[in-house]
Amino acid sequence: MPVTHRLAVLGAGVMGTGIATLALGHGLPVTLVDIDESVLEQARRSIALDMRHARLMGAAPDTAPGELVTTTSIADAAQATVVIEAVTELPGSKAAALAEVAAVVAPGTPLISNTSGIPIDEMADWVPRSAELIGTHFMNPAYLIKMVEVIRGPRTGAGTVAAVVDLLTVLGKQHVVVQDAPGFVTSRLLHPMINRAAAIVGEGTASVEAVDALMEGCLGHPTGPLRTADLIGLDNLVDSLNALYERTGDESCRPCALMQDKVEAGDLGRKSGRGFYSYRKNPS
């Protein structure tokens, strides 16, 4: 299969490494950028493990993987045909990353933000060519979950939408296009639900295990909201909830005390070894 895209992924955290794994598994070259070399080192180990997992789960085609380049310099993303921004859910961080990469890639290069809540039209003010900006909300793990939410901002160009749909097709993904709003559809529904589940535990009504068991057994949630929270990362959830609360005023989006306490204690979920549940971390 000829290579039709060269990806630059900004941010080597949980989502950035998952998206990189997805693209590499489908034979696309990826330049993974982060400001911290130690984070990139961990990302390389995680991608190797996740690539094996994707193969075992039948989530990657039987083709040669793409080439991975890791770097701390956004200038190394200059040859990308598509950029996917997956830095932390803080407006200042995202604005800086998008502005810097927009200055080095060729005009017409789609700039995709994997934001979970910040409106795309708000972010469009951070880049010089607003028609090139679009949102695509990959779920975690990106290399396993088939559906992707695509968010078209008011200023997003038709060519950008078409290029992103083509990329998702190459990556074997289904997609649904939605209009721009804080939290879009998935985060606006999921994140307040997780927040309420954590508040119920914090109030002493039920244990973590009981909440997840009831959501799975009675309401059909595939993993339970609190196990899902650990997979997303509690720090990411708190950042996203804060972004939603600031933009909507919805009290269900104000992070509950238990969620904030866990983040302050460093209990961030799977990536830290402890969140609502405890996990044995892979040796490194």
3-state secondary structure 31-58: EEECCCHHHHHHHHHHHHHHHHHHHHCC
Mean pLDDT of the chain: 95
Nearest to residue 240, comparing CAs of 108, 97, 109, 140? 140
Does residue 137 have an active-site annotation?
Answer: yes
Tokens standing for 178?
A: 């939605």
> Does the pTM exceed 0.85?
yes
Residue boundaries of the structural domains of the chain = 7-179, 186-272
Distance CA 54, CA 277 (A): 24
Q: Please give the pLDDT value at position 62.
A: 84
Q: Please give the pLDDT value at position 60.
A: 85
> Is it the case that residue 65 has pLDDT exceeding 50?
yes
- 265 burial via Cβ count (<10 Å: 0-12, 13-18, 19+): exposed
Higher pLDDT, 4 or 196: 196
Residue 284 — very low, low, confident or very high, per pLDDT cuts 50/70/90?
very low
**Which amino acid appears at position 17 of this protein?**
T
Output the CA–CA distances (angstroms, integers) from residue 275 to 135, 190, 272, 280, in the order listed.
Answer: 28, 18, 8, 12
Catalytic residue among 5, 26, 53, 137: 137
Assigned fold of 186-272: N-(1-d-carboxylethyl)-l-norvaline Dehydrogenase; domain 2 (1.10.1040)
> What angle is formed at CA 248 by the lines to CA 119 and CA 150, rounded to 5 degrees?
30
Distance CA 22, CA 7 (A): 11
Q: Please give the pLDDT value at position 190.
A: 96
> Is it the case that residue 103 has pLDDT exceeding 80?
yes
> What angle is formed at CA 21 by the lines to CA 179 and CA 135, rounded to 5 degrees?
15
Is CATH 3.40.50.720 what the domain over 7-179 is classified as, yes or no?
yes
Average pLDDT over residues 65-78: 97
Q: Please give the pLDDT value at position 282.
A: 52
